[in-house]
Amino acid sequence: METTIREEARDIPILEKVDVLVAGGGVAGCAAAVSAARAGASTLLMERNGCLGGVATATLMANIGNRYLTASGKQVISGFAGEVVERLVEVGAASARWRNRDVPGVVIDSERLKVVLIEMAEEAGVRVLTHAVAARPIMDGSAVIGAFCESKSGRQAVLAKATVDATGEADLAHQAGARCRFQTGSASILFKLANVDLDAFVAFLAQDPDGFPAGQDSVKDLETFDRNWRERGTLFFPHGGGRTWPFLQEAVARGDLKKEMPPAFSLDAFGLYAIGGPGFVVVNSNFYRIADLDVRNLSEFELHAQKICYYVADFMIKHVPGFSRAHVAHIGVDLGIRVSRYIEGRNVLDDKNVLSAPAPVLADDVIGTFPVCDQRPERQGFFRDYTCDIPFGITVPVGCDNLLVGSGKSVSTASPAILRGMTGCMICGQAVGAASALAAAKGLRSADVPLRELQRELLRQNAYLGEPERLRALGLT
């Protein structure tokens, strides 16, 4: 049986020549493209969907995990990641009262995020191509000099002085010869219910305070959950909380809800996200095991998930107080893959530095900071009052040149999960966009940009790299 076929060689038309090409228009890719353009580079962003935002929009992940704040509430993530939230607040698409360590996540209106990202790209001068897949890197030896694009216009080429892989699964880096690892993980699709009486739902939870899944997903307890809703307009029921919520598990025991409908599992995960006012709630309650990136498997999961969303929604409408008049208003269209393929980089960020470091973790090539988690049993999922530096070297793949990786879930970490959230993605994306612009301007490989110049550009773009004394130590003041 034949397993390959030879494609006829042909000349590919050049669509554009730019300073910086960014593959993937999720929040990491948007951060990369906007920061590159703000640094003076002509920039092209390719996105396979008809909207920007990736997992945050096409998958409907309507929550930006609140990594912005340390234990005492000091904001240690700003730049592009901070600007996105502030713009959402300005248009009523996120609560203005999110800056509190009791708030586990910045719940957002994913539909409005699409437009916010469009506006940021337009203002910066980014050229955006939608329904355009960066199908394969264009190589000059080991150096990436652009990418082939597949779209309704056919196969075309974009040549670039510097290229950013923000695909989320290191697609271009892998094809360019970068050394990569793979970790089996999971994926989900979310859905939105309209016409929900959220006050009634919160009141129902209050009837059984001991049954509330306290301490999960950075949610302290029922009192904090209630205060976030009443005073801050943020409803955040912990993802995975349904697994220990007596009400839901009793429904499972009765046969009202199946926990598994293969290949889906954990249908009782029950993460819920809403902002005050409209009566919408986004539901995160299915999982699929990602053991490879075979398109046949991913397609099966993606289509199955869209059916499962209605199964979970029907259960909620029939059985959960506050949901009796609800209906499905929107289903995500992309499978949101949490972890899969990620690069081996010039540096590796160790899990313990982010998850349990006993003191601040510093890096000379810092491009952003993360509050260190506090993993003591009584503080599971919360944070300490100091940070871990994110090093530039984790975005630099080993095995190919002139390409940087912008997605936090595919940079070089001991585990791909530690930077996979939106804040990690936006930090890495902004840094590699700025680095690529500097490399293009100076005629250097992306990996060889002068670190202090990169850091000064990030500071100019309002990124947080540390307190003044730290910046003085780095020679940045």
pLDDT in tens, 424-451: 999 999 999 999 999 999 999 999 999 9
CA distance 392 to 287: 32
**pLDDT of the residue at 415:** 87
Non-local (6+) Cβ contacts of 47 within 8 A are 24, 25, 29, 128, 129, 130, 131, 132
Helical residues (DSSP H) of 357-421, grouped into ranges:
none
User: Residue 152 has which token pair?
Assistant: 């309704």
**pLDDT of the residue at 225:** 97
Length of the chain equals 477
User: Residue 188 has which token pair?
Assistant: 């989900």
Show me where the domains of the chain are located: 14-70+81-91+110-183+341-473, 186-337
- Report residues of the chain scoring pLDDT below 50: none
CA distance 132 to 368: 30
Kindly list the distances between the CA atom of residue 51 and the CA atoms of 34, 44, 221, 295, 398, in Å, as whole numbers in the listed order.
Answer: 16, 15, 36, 21, 31
pTM for the predicted model, two decimal places: 0.97
**pLDDT of the residue at 1:** 77
**pLDDT of the residue at 379:** 59
Non-local (6+) Cβ contacts of 267 within 8 A are 257, 258, 259, 260, 261, 285, 286, 308, 311, 312
**pLDDT of the residue at 380:** 55
Whether a cis peptide bond, with omega within 30° of 0, leads into 263 is yes
Give per-residue pLDDT as tens, 277-288: 889 999 999 999
Q: Please give the DSSP secondary-structure letter assigned to residue 238.
A: P
Q: Which class for 181: exposed (0-12), middle (13-18), buried (19 or more C-beta within 10 A)?
A: middle
Residue with tokens 């960020």: 349
Phi and psi of 328, rounded to 5°?
Answer: -70, 125
Is 3.50.50.60 the CATH classification of the domain at 14-70+81-91+110-183+341-473?
A: yes
User: Residue 400 has which token pair?
Assistant: 């190919």
Find the helix or strand (DSSP H, E) in which 56 lies.
Answer: none
**pLDDT of the residue at 85:** 98
Q: Which of 290, 246, 247, 240 is nearest to 268 (CA)?
A: 240
